[in-house]
Amino acid sequence: MKGRDSGMPEEDYWNSFFDAECIIKKMFGVNGCQGDVVEFGSGYGTFTIPAAKYSTSMVSAFDIESELIERLQQKTKEQSITNIHAEVRDFVADGTGLEAETQSHAMIFNLLHLENPVELLKEAHRVLGIGGKLSVIHWRSDIPTPRGPSLKIRPTPEQCNEWIEIAGFHTIQDVDLLEYCQFHFGIVALH
């Protein structure tokens, strides 16, 4: 089931909000990701494709909308990207289907306004191996933004940090993204 207030605008407009490659570099760290990556809610592949460039292994990209997955699959074909597996999946209701402790990095971008964010974070924790990293970005709630879910349901960084801790993560750190996106905040945490 599609989450509340989670529709996508036109692709070029969406991509104008981010320097996706720089955000991925910042979230992954200077050495990139040494292992498999899972992305919850891949959308147009805005972050999926840069993640594939900074990962040594497979990126599993999940989205509930078949049109968005088809679009991402077409992009990977056009760009000869071979380390992205894009799949239509209701990961909120059914989880990712990935084996436990098999991923090195989990990306949850612009999704923690959904109805049950802790369960989503618990699924990320389940699939991450020990020492795996969680990356979260979300629309800021302290300023007006040109897009994003209703301000009433946007989480604050403090709420996200609390949920991340409840889900079992530790070493939770805020990531300054203002240089790459003035409308979002970032968080990383370790399994």
Q: Return the domain boundaries, the chain.
A: 11-190
Tell me how far apart the alpha carbons of residues 38 and 129 are, in angstroms, rounded to a whole number.
Answer: 12
Question: How does pLDDT run along the chain (191 residues), one tens digit per residue?
Answer: 555 555 676 878 877 788 999 999 999 887 777 899 999 999 999 999 999 998 889 999 999 999 999 999 999 999 999 999 999 999 999 999 999 999 999 999 999 999 899 999 999 999 999 999 999 999 999 988 888 898 899 999 999 999 999 999 999 999 999 888 899 999 999 99
Using a cut of 0.85, tell me whether the model's pTM lies above it: yes
Tell me how far apart the alpha carbons of residues 123 and 113 are, in angstroms, rounded to a whole number.
Answer: 16
CA distances from 175 to 26, 79, 90, 169, 179 (A): 8, 30, 28, 16, 11
- Cα first-last separation, the chain: 27
User: If DSSP codes are grouped into helix, strand and coil, which group holds residue 62?
Assistant: strand
Q: Domain 11-190's class?
A: alpha beta
Q: Nearest CA to 108 among 142, 132, 77?
A: 132
DSSP state at residue 57: S
Residue 128's DSSP bridge partners are: 103
Sequence-distant (≥ 6) Cβ neighbours of residue 172 within 8 angstroms: 161, 164, 165, 187, 188, 189
